[in-house]
């Protein structure tokens, strides 16, 4: 069976950055997603289209096909008081901020000053060229419930 829309695809992967550093990998457990439902980044989904179990591929994705370019307007200076009382604020630490519509926005602390903290709302992998080593383990038809939910279920219940 080939990878196509409405198939559940199971694969193993190693994700490395432009310096060859390992960013993420499927250790032991395989990774599964529902093809055509935007469960994974668009460039990777496109590269997997038409592949079959046993296929191995190496996919390099420019930022535009992965997590997008960095947007410097998403860097913001906020007063320290905006953080929870007693919170340890260190560079690289991640917090949840509230967007204008109340939805949570993950932010990363970029710089800590005397009174102000610079936070970055870019995705941590924005601006990165990503390299995926993928081995396809299994391709199967999605169940009606999986199609309804837009994601795979482990035991296909
Ligand atoms: Zn579900």
In the chain, the number of structural domains is: 2
Does residue 135 belong to any structural domain of this protein?
A: yes
Residues 35, 5 contacting (CB under 8 angstroms): yes
Structure tokens at 134: 């993928």
Q: Is residue 44 domain-resident?
A: yes
- How far apart CA 25 and CA 154 sit, in angstroms, is 19
- The alpha carbon of 88 and the centre of ligand 1 are apart by a number of angstroms equal to 36
Rounded-to-integer distance, Cα 129 and Cα 66, Å: 8
How many Å lie between the centroid of ligand 1 and the Cα of residue 153? 6
Mean pLDDT of successive 10-residue stretches along the chain, which has 157 residues: 97 94 88 95 96 97 93 94 86 88 90 94 93 96 96 70
Predicted pLDDT at 86:
83
Distance 17 CA to ligand 1 centre (A): 31
Is 63 in the same domain as 137?
yes
C-alpha 149 – ligand 1 centre gap (Å): 5
pLDDT for position 157:
35
Q: Distance between CA 155 and CA 117 in Å, rounded?
A: 45
Residue 56 lies in a domain: yes
**130 lies in the same domain as 61:** yes
Q: 135 CA distance to ligand 1 centroid (A)?
A: 25
Residue 103 sits in the same domain as residue 133: no
Shared-domain flag, residues 62 and 105? no
Separation CA 33–CA 39 (nearest Å): 6
- Predicted confidence at residue 110, as pLDDT, reads 95
> Nearest CA to 67 among 24, 110, 36, 34?
24
Q: Are 132 and 13 in contact (CB under 8 A)?
A: yes
Residue 154 covered by a domain? no
The confidence score (pLDDT) of residue 141 equals 97
pTM of the model: 0.78
Same domain, 92 and 138: no
Calculate how far, in angstroms, residue 6's C-alpha sits from the geometric centre of ligand 1.
14
Domain-embedded: residue 156: no
Q: Domain containing 98: what range? A: 72-120
Report CA(150)–ligand 1 centroid distance (Å): 7
Strands (E), the chain: 7-16, 22-25, 31-34, 56-61, 75-79, 94-98, 104-112, 116-120, 130-141
């Amino acid at each position: 069976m080939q990878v196509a829309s409405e198939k559940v695809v199971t694969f193993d992967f190693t994700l490395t950055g432009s310096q060859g550093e390992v960013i993420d990998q499927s250790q032991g457990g395989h990774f599964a997603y529902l093809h055509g439902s935007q469960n994974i980044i668009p460039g990777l989904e496109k590269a997997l289209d038409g592949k079959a179990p046993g296929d191995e591929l190496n996919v390099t994705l420019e930022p535009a096909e992965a997590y997008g370019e960095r947007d410097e307007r998403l860097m913001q200076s906020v007063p320290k008081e905006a953080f929870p009382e007693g919170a340890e604020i260190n560079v690289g630490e991640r917090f949840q901020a509230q967007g204008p519509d109340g939805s949570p926005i993950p932010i990363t602390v970029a710089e800590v000053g005397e009174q102000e903290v610079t936070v970055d709302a870019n995705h941590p992998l924005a601006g990165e060229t990503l390299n995926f080593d993928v081995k396809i383990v299994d391709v199967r038809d999605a169940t009606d419930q999986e199609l309804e939910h837009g994601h795979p279920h482990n035991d296909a219940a």
